[in-house]
Each structure stands twice: as structure tokens, then as C-alpha cells.
């Protein structure tokens, strides 16, 4: 496999479609370098980002299945492993349970870099919620005493992505490196 097999990119995506156009290039690049790339979709975007399917009269379950298939196909093209936590959207509710699930992903894939949403997005509350949980899970995963399988995490840098109206968004800062929106 690749020369960079120890590098591991983790992308935390609020909705199933977010990672595709916000981080697709970074994921493809990581995969092309032989790095591990993992996408976690906290929801399918089934309520807030599936307008066409609702207008076609599809049911909630049908829409989730549709969105899951689309996201899996996208991840396959990009070269990433993908998983879904099915936490619901609009609103995506923050919870300790969901954060704990993310901690377990961190401990499992031991990311060397993390990409997620911005902490401020006046047009979509689910995106900052995902970012807050991604950051909190990163901190918890670093705690040796936190009760989750695996070794305590190092301190992977976190970068924010938001190409849509990026001037209205705020990237991650405290405790993690920030970057211009991708
Ligand atoms: Zn979204």
C-alpha cells in the first residue's frame, strides 16, 4: 500500500452531502497519497438537504436510503471509508451519546488530521453543532481515563471547511490550527 499509511484523515460531516463538495479534493488527495481517509456522517441530511426527494413524495426511510447510497458512492470514488451515525438533522441535536460515538471513531482511526465544519454558520445550525461535537470528541479521546476502547489520542490538528459564504463563517481556533476555508 502506500508510503503514507500512518497518516489518517478524519472528516466529520453533519449531513451526508457535506463532505463531498467541502472536502472532496482533500479526501481524494489523501487517498491518492495512500493515506487512510475516513468520513463520518452524523446524519443523512434527510430532512434539511433532500428537498427534491421530499417533493417526489418519498418517505423518510426511502430518503435516508437514497442519501446513504449517494454518500457511499461518493466516498468510494474519493477513496474513503464512510460510516453513518444516523443522528437526525434539522436539527442535529448535540448529545453526550453522539459525542461518545465520535470519541470511539477517533480512538479507532487515530486521525493525524481532522476536517470539519466551521464553528459559526448563520445559515445552518447543524454545521456548528457538528463542529462542536467533533472538537469535544477530539478532546475527550485524548484523555487517558476516558472510557472508550483504544489508546488515548494524540493532538491532531483540526481544519474547518466552508466554501459556501465562507465570509460569514468562523474557522476553528483555540487549541487547534485554523486555516482558510478550503
Ligand atoms: Zn450540511
Quick one: what percent of the chain has pLDDT higher than 70? Answer: 90
15 alpha carbon – ligand 1 mean position (Å): 5
- Mean pLDDT for all residues in the chain: 91
Where are the alpha helices (H) located in 79-151, listed in sequence order? 96-109, 126-142
144 Cα: distance to centroid of ligand 1 (angstroms):
32
Ligand 1 centroid, distance to 127 Cα (angstroms): 6
Q: pLDDT confidence of 182, banded at 50, 70, 90?
A: very low
Residues 6+ apart with CB under 8 A from 150: 104, 107, 108, 110
Ligand 1 geometric centre to CA of 44 (Å): 9
pTM summary value = 0.91
| Residue of higher predicted confidence among 93 and 171 | 93
pLDDT at 179 > cutoff 80: no
What pLDDT score was predicted for residue 163?
73
Give the per-residue pLDDT at 173. 52
Cα–Cα distance measured from residue 13 to residue 56, given in angstroms and rounded to the nearest whole number: 25
How far apart are the CA of 18 and the centre of ligand 1, in A? 5
Q: Which residues pair with 160 in a beta bridge?
A: 116
* Distant-in-sequence, close-in-space partners of 79: CB < 8 Å, separation ≥ 6: 27, 28, 30, 31, 32, 37
Largest interatomic CA distance in the chain: 49
Could you tell me the distance, in angstroms and rounded to a whole number, from the CA of residue 17 to the centre of ligand 1?
7
Ligand 1: centre distance to CA 73 (Å): 18
CB environment 12-27: b (16+ within 10 A), e (fewer): bbbbbbbbbebbbebb
Q: How far is the CA of 79 from the centre of ligand 1 (A)?
A: 21
Q: What distance in angstroms lies between residue 150's CA and the mean position of ligand 1's atoms? A: 30
175: pLDDT confidence band, cut at 50, 70 and 90? very low
Do 103 and 137 meet the contact criterion of CB atoms below 8 Å apart? yes
CA dist 20 → 99, 106, 132 (Å): 22, 20, 20
Average pLDDT estimate for 84-100: 98
Residue 42 Cα to ligand 1 middle (Å) = 10
The one-character DSSP state at 116 is E
Amino acid at each position: 500500500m502506500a508510503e503514507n499509511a500512518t497518516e489518517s484523515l478524519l472528516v466529520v460531516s453533519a449531513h451526508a452531502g457535506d463532505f463531498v463538495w467541502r472536502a472532496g479534493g482533500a479526501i481524494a488527495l489523501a487517498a491518492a497519497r495512500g493515506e487512510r481517509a475516513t468520513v463520518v456522517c452524523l446524519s443523512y441530511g434527510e430532512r434539511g438537504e433532500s428537498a427534491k426527494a421530499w417533493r417526489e413524495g418519498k418517505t423518510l426511510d426511502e430518503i435516508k436510503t437514497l442519501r446513504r447510497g449517494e454518500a457511499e458512492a461518493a466516498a468510494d470514488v474519493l477513496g474513503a471509508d464512510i460510516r453513518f451515525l444516523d443522528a437526525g438533522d434539522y436539527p442535529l441535536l448535540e448529545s453526550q451519546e453522539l459525542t461518545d460515538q465520535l470519541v470511539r471513531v477517533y480512538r479507532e482511526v487515530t486521525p493525524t488530521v481532522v476536517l470539519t465544519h466551521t464553528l459559526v454558520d448563520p445559515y445552518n445550525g447543524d454545521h456548528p453543532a457538528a463542529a462542536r461535537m467533533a472538537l469535544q470528541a477530539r478532546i475527550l479521546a485524548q484523555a487517558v481515563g476516558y472510557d472508550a476502547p483504544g489508546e488515548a489520542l494524540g493532538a491532531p490538528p483540526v481544519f474547518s471547511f466552508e466554501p459556501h459564504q465562507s465570509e460569514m463563517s468562523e474557522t476553528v481556533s483555540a487549541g487547534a490550527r485554523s486555516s482558510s476555508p478550503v
